[in-house]
Amino acid sequence: MDLLERLNLEKVSVLDLGCGVGRNSIPIAQRIQEFGGTVHAVDLLPVAIDKLSAYIGEYNVQGAITVEAADAEYYGIASEAYDYIVVCSCLEHVSNVQAFRAVVERMIRGTQRNGINCVLINTEVKEYDPESGVEQDGLIELNLPTGEALRLLRELYAGWEILIEKHVPQTVHEHKQGKQIEFRGVWVTFAAQRKGAG
């Protein structure tokens, strides 16, 4: 939300990849709708898109959000279509590093000059069972070491201005298969702004 304020909000164009039920799309739409801005919200799961569609009515942002069920891994983004692209907790669900690179490269091509990309990703994910004391690797598609994720992002966004680069340990308590587990990992936030012709 803070990064949005760096942009000219007049008719600002936002893409939320892996939008879920709209935790980010809805507040962004609320902020930009008075300026004629729009959010395009994309998620793999039709059920997430259905829930988001209901929230669009509930939060009265009908004119400011469009939705689409699609796989971010193969999602085509028109050249320089967006001022702001956010991908929150989604890139850890693509198949491999090659797919990660491909998605970010499409985001980069799809961003206008002075536009911003914000990538939030869980890394080094572990699942800890407090009952047994056993910790095992998290069952997610792309479980990157934090340093590797940051190295990739710095490389892909070479020539852009890095606005945020931080990583913090994170524990989320989850109920899984009848058990209470701890989902442990590192929460990486990386944001960059496209400058000049870069």
Ligand X SMILES: C[S@@+](CC[C@H](N)C(=O)[O-])C[C@H]1O[C@@H](n2cnc3c(N)ncnc32)[C@H](O)[C@@H]1O
Give me the residues that bind ligand X (CB under 6 A), please.
18-20, 23-24, 43-45, 48, 71-73, 88-90, 93-94
- Kindly state the tokens that stand for 184: 């442990």
Nearer to ligand X by Cβ, of 44 and 152: the residue is: 44
Q: Is residue 167 within 8 Å of residue 189, measured between CB atoms?
A: yes
Phi first, then psi, for residue 25 (nearest 5°) are -60, -45
- Beta strand 82-88 with 65-69 is unpaired
Between 35 and 187, CB nearer to ligand X: 187
Are the beta carbons of 75 and 106 closer than 8 angstroms? yes
**CB of residue 76 to ligand X, shortest distance in Å:** 13
CB of 75 or CB of 160, closer to ligand X: 75
Residue of 177, 155, 173, 153 lying closest to 165 (CA atoms): 153
User: Which residue's C-beta sits nearest to ligand X?
Assistant: 20
> What whole-number distance in Å separates Cα of residue 72 and Cα of residue 68?
11
**Least distance in angstroms from the C-beta of 132 to ligand X:** 25
CB of 128 to ligand X, least distance (A): 18
What's the closest the beta carbon of residue 16 comes to ligand X, in angstroms? 7
Q: State in angstroms the smallest separation of the CB of 94 from ligand X.
A: 6
Q: Which is nearer to ligand X, 11 or 64 (CB)?
A: 64
187 token code pair: 């929460």
Alpha helices for 34-166 (secondary structure H)? 46-58, 97-109, 146-156
Identity of the residue, 118 or 153, whose beta carbon is nearer to ligand X in the bound complex: 118
Q: How many angstroms separate the CA atoms of 90 and 123, rounded?
A: 11
Cα 65 to Cα 43: distance, rounded to the nearest angstrom: 13
Q: Closest approach of Cβ 25 to ligand X, in Å?
A: 8
Q: Which is nearer to ligand X, 10 or 141 (CB)?
A: 141
